[in-house]
Amino acid sequence: MKKILVPLPFYAGCWLVIMVAVMSIAHVPQLPLWSIIFSVMTLAWSWLVLQQKVKPISALMKHLVMAIVVIATLVSAISADGLAGLSTLLVTGSMLKLLETRTRRDGWVLVLASCFATAVSFLFNQTMLSALLGLISIVVIFCALVSMHSFGEYKKQPFNAAFVKPLRRSSALLVQSLPMMIVLFVVFPRIGPLWSVEYKNGAAKTGLSESISPGQVGRLTRSDAVAFRVSFEGDQPPPRQDRYWRAMTLSRFDGEQWFMDDFLRREATVAPSGTRSENRYQYQVIAEPSANPWLFLLDYPTQVSGEQIQLASNKTTRAIKPLDNRFTYQASSVVSDRFFQTELKWAERYTAVPNGGNPKTRALVAQWREQRLSHSQIIEQIYNLFNRSFRYTLSPPVLVADQQDAFLFDTQAGFCEHFASATAYMLRLAGIPARLVGGYQGGEWNAYESYMLVRQFEAHAWVEYWQQGEGWIRLDPTAFVAPERIEQSFDQLFGDDTNFAADSAASLIRWEKRWSWVGDLRLRYDAVNYRWHRWILGYHETQQLLLSDWLGGKNRLALIALVVLPVSVFLAVTLWWLLRKKDHYLNARSRDIEKVSRLLEQKDGRLRRKKEETLRRYLERVVAYYPELAAVAPAWLTAYERLEYLPHGKTASPLQKTYTFAYRHFYRGAKRLSAKR
């Protein structure tokens, strides 16, 4: 049996074009340039075809375009990061389908693809702006559905009315579902998905990695992406020079790179003795997705609480699994430059250096050892060395063989990891246990919502060395060369550098020196997003406490039963309300007839209009009972029939006025007569 393909109404085609355009906007940051250009051209061409200003694309050209786009999509997907290739596939596939959309079945395919693409967009971005865009996309999808199933209804209406009416209907549907959405959001327990999606969100390019080599941390200055946000108890953050955010320690060195510690044994540690109470801070961290497990703590942490967290003896903290979503945890720290341990285990790990290489550096340290210099004196020698002619730069020269020699005796210019790596190497050559620490230094205080914002360009590396009787002591060689890097805002110092935030073309930070209001606008917008992350996306923890208070610690099955029962009742009532027979589903003229029928039925049940009865036959019965209505009934009947059989494309405005006048005249007469008898 041959399928009958229902053609799309004109207004439905317009809404489908708008729907695909809105859906694609959320994926623009993940799309390659060619895909964006192709999408814009396709949308413009489809709109012109609907307006009959150009002819539809030919079958031969359609197949040629499809072949080129498929090849380009495959190439882009292979080179894309994470699921970014999925965005290209969804958007370009929808655009190709839009080129051949002619029937309602084609429209359904586009609607389903848009629903899926809208959901996928939240894998990349979950800000309040993305949520608003998702809501707009849902409204437009509903408008397309309403238009696809409303053939004759809009043909008789002006262009503007045909667009406004689907918008009203879709908005009304969403408003009706709002109470149910709120109930589910507030009380329904969060259950993990039945599937798993490993998505790194480009974190390999913008986050710290498991190893550090000269130039690696410096590349993070090209990104202004947010690393994490911190809110402090009492809204009192530590001074800028004390904002060392510890993420990892690196103890293995192969001559070029430093690698992370591969152990996480928990040992007893003692907080710095004699610390003042004002040096203790309690805070909450909201870490951005990074595809890495390590977390960020203010040096030095004393307590960490959160779901599935490990605290190591080296004062670093890791999550059980990589952060694929925002992760919230609480911690307390004592701000200090050292923490005490009774003894140093694995001492050989912290003094190991590769055999051979860097002869100049080895000779220099050998001279210090021959002079029997103490730890503090060796550090003073390193300070004098760096303070002599070295400079701090975001674009250091490339180092080749014998990197430490090349840096210390040739280029003498570098970023924080250059100074930290050289310092730790010289300390180990001198027999002093040392290791690198990777994390962030600094943070921008947002007074609009009272939290600290730490970005990728504030990534930092420093050194810790061991001293018997004192434990691990922080040593930041960057402060020897550029103390302003520690004491001042990073973006204020290097905002004019060409490498600063170079990967963020739309970064507002680069323009704040020229226009101060840009910085104020940026902080206000981030404060709104912070509140969104904390109270909406991070509602899970608040919900657990809320349900625990409401239900008094019931078990999970009881909790689900107590939630499912009222939700089921609510759904049943809602379905009954929507599925019951209502005059609302009749058109306006049919409702007028039903209104007259109910009025007359109150006086005599025989005057109730029968289901199979036309208006002409019904009025004949009414006039037989009320002869006084014989003078006004024909006018109403004539206007009704003319409106019902009005040719397509004809305007109904003048005739509608005639109909309204005739109907009201008849209704008032019927009401007056029924009241007398």
Kind and range of the H or E run holding 311: strand 309-311
Alpha-carbon distances, residue 603 vs 89, 195, 613, 671 (angstroms): 66, 64, 20, 10
Least confident range of 70-79, 463-472, 554-563, 624-633: 554-563
Comparing 1-15, 323-337, 624-638, the range with the smallest average pLDDT is 1-15
The confidence score (pLDDT) of residue 612 equals: 82
292 Cβ contact list (under 8 Å, min separation 6): 203, 207, 208, 209, 210, 322, 323
Q: Report pLDDT digits (tens) over 411-455.
A: 888 888 889 999 999 999 999 999 999 999 989 899 888 899 998
Most confident of 9-13, 85-89, 222-226: 85-89
Over residues 662-672, the mean pLDDT reads 89
Average pLDDT over residues 201-211: 56
Cα 89 versus chain centre, distance: 20
Give the pLDDT mean for 145-155.
70
pLDDT on residue 269: 45
**What's the average model confidence in pLDDT over 345-367?**
89
pLDDT over threshold 50, residue 2: no
3-state secondary structure of 302: strand
- Name the token pair of 144: 């397309």
Q: Give which of 340, 316, 319, 337 is closest to 328, Cα–Cα.
A: 319
Active-site residues, by number, are 416, 460, 476
Backbone dihedral angles phi then psi of residue 585, each to the nearest 5 degrees: -85, -5
Listed residue (262, 247, 255) closest to 297, CA to CA: 247
Angle at 675 between CA 671 and CA 677, to 5 degrees: 125
How far is 653 from 309, CA to CA, in rounded Å?
69
Instruction: Give the pLDDT of residue 10.
Output: 81
